Structure 1
């Protein structure tokens, strides 16, 4: 028996193992929670299939409508999870979107892109772009009847924030039918780079993760993961950006680096910054009712409702 087949070449505990023979073991799978009308917030949700041949889908959210004549901002949300875990249908993101949609009074599309390593990057980026195109031209009744296509935002946390940025870059040079992207919200964004920035300390798992999810990458200075290194950085297809970091999150240095460099290379927009003191990576998902999670949600909601 060839024991080398059981050799682990990459491990992302407690979520994923990749073996030498190419097998992948997803240790912790996300629970599916069905769409519903949330009894606390009054937010309704439903699932839609965007691309039947690939299974690409999304969960739509509609706040309790008090004035059917008033169109609401549209939020396209990309979940986090290092590109390998979580889904748009997990309890974590279903509950968070219910709260965010109620607080901000927006219509939302939570994208369920395909995950690595079974579907390595750039598949998640292509799925996300397909979802944007679908949202910009669909006749789906919630979007058609309630969403204001002149007030469109993209947001995400961790890997989802990475996706939101990359979609805004692509929107800067590709047309989206009917869409005007006002801004993006990057919460604890997953970015990296070869050379450390600020007080950044890289880890072996962190270095190997990017290669595991994007086998064709050129490395940690790939523009997909090091946006400041991207020649198209100044072409970001929106005029407002909110970058949110957490004080004891190892990714905070890259978030700050992004914020500090965005306006230095010709991008003509407004970038805002928020740091949650004493908090770690995506704390707001695990403790959504804590004071700092509430502060973060209010800031994100105000950002989406303050656009021209």
Structure 2
């Protein structure tokens, strides 16, 4: 009797679970806040209502004095109409003017921020190691702001940095920054943004001379990628640009366009296990073969995956990666 009673309870419980699942499916079919429009896991999910649920990169930390490095940070709003802001990092004063680094975070153009703990720690360490004032850009994210919004924000920040250093304002950049040593860098999607900013500066100036561009495991793709990657890119740019567009596939650029890249030095870092590696290496080959008069360096880390260097900063490989970037910034010529 007891066994039959337990079995009966299990049957009832199973029926209830099935009923709940059916109700959820029914609700999903009628509730736009539950029906998935685009599943970009592990980054985010967009629902038919337009609601976006970010699954990572939403934690923020305040600017501060970092006791480990002595670097102090603060936030500045660059454009109130769009909400564009930057986090500035100033290392301990070493005398004289310091190089300036504009940095773009990664996150597939859809997650993360300049205020994320991972990027805050990374920029503290990098500003200290390179002895540079860092400008970490909190650009707008897709899908609410599909590309080219992030590119436009990068352009706005470049012009803002140039103007701030030139007008003699009482700011960190004006008092401590060296306008002749301006660098642009970014990882993953941020590397893509850094490249496209340098291309735009080559065409339109921007009021600043970019000494060097560092592309850290940048987000580049090409025509022959899997359908998932194609759908993701279409989501990021709202279908405006195909897989052969130079925004995502710089190798589609003609040689004459490469020669307009607004810098004399490029550092490309590649993590050996990164699936984007073939396009990253092809970038260097295309740049070197284009007639561009600058110097392109390829730095490869064996046995590591995409953007490994952002975490565990004390690991030997991550420390060497940062030392390479710092040396790139501090090279005299």
TM over 0.5: yes
Aligned-partner Cα distance in 2 for 1:299–1:2: 50
Query: Which of 20, 38, 45 pairs up with 2:66?
Result: 38
Matched position secondary structure for 1:220: coil
TM-score normalised by structure 1 residue count: 0.93
Aligned-partner Cα distance in 1 for 2:154–2:251: 21
Aligned-partner Cα distance in 2 for 1:95–1:237: 29
Greater helix percent: which structure? 2
Unaligned 5+ segments in structure 2 are 1-26
Q: Deviations over 1:178-229 (max 9, x none)?
A: x22111000001001113xxxxxx4433221110010142311111000111
Deviation at 1:176, TM superposition (A): 2.5
Matches within 5 A, 1:187-206: 187-195=216-224, 202-206=225-229
Identify the residue that residue 6 of structure 2 maps to in structure 1: none
Identify the residue that residue 141 of structure 1 maps to in structure 2: 171
Q: Deviations over 1:60-110 (max 9, x none)?
A: 01100032xx11111000010000110000101000000001111011110
Unaligned 5+ segments in structure 1 are 196-201
Query: Which of 137, 158, 163 pairs up with 1:111?
Result: 137
Indicate if the aligned counterparts of 2:143 and 2:238 stay in contact, CA closer than 8 A.
no
Indicate if the aligned counterparts of 2:57 and 2:116 stay in contact, CA closer than 8 A.
no
TM-score normalised by structure 2 residue count: 0.86
Task: Give the structure, 1 or 2, with the largest relative contact order (CA under 8 Å, sep 6 or more).
Answer: 1
Indicate if the aligned counterparts of 1:10 and 1:208 stay in contact, CA closer than 8 A.
no
Deviation at 1:20, TM superposition (A): 4.1
Identify the residue that residue 174 of structure 1 maps to in structure 2: 204
Matched position secondary structure for 1:300: helix
Aligned-partner Cα distance in 1 for 2:170–2:292: 34
Matches within 5 A, 1:60-75: 60-67=88-95, 70-75=96-101
Q: Indicate the larger mover: 108-117 or 261-270.
A: 261-270
Identify the residue that residue 49 of structure 1 maps to in structure 2: 77
Matched position secondary structure for 1:268: coil
Deviation at 1:24, TM superposition (A): 2.5
Indicate if the aligned counterparts of 1:58 and 1:111 stay in contact, CA closer than 8 A.
yes
Report the aligned-residue RMSD: 1.5
- Tell me the matched-pair count: 299
Query: Which of 127, 136, 156 pairs up with 1:101?
Result: 127
Aligned-partner Cα distance in 2 for 1:2–1:76: 43
Q: Does 1:270 align with 2:299?
A: no
Q: Indicate the larger mover: 40-49 or 212-221.
A: 212-221
Q: Does 1:19 align with 2:47?
A: yes
Distance 1:2 1:302, change over 3 A: closer
Deviation at 1:13, TM superposition (A): 1.4
Aligned-partner Cα distance in 1 for 2:89–2:28: 50
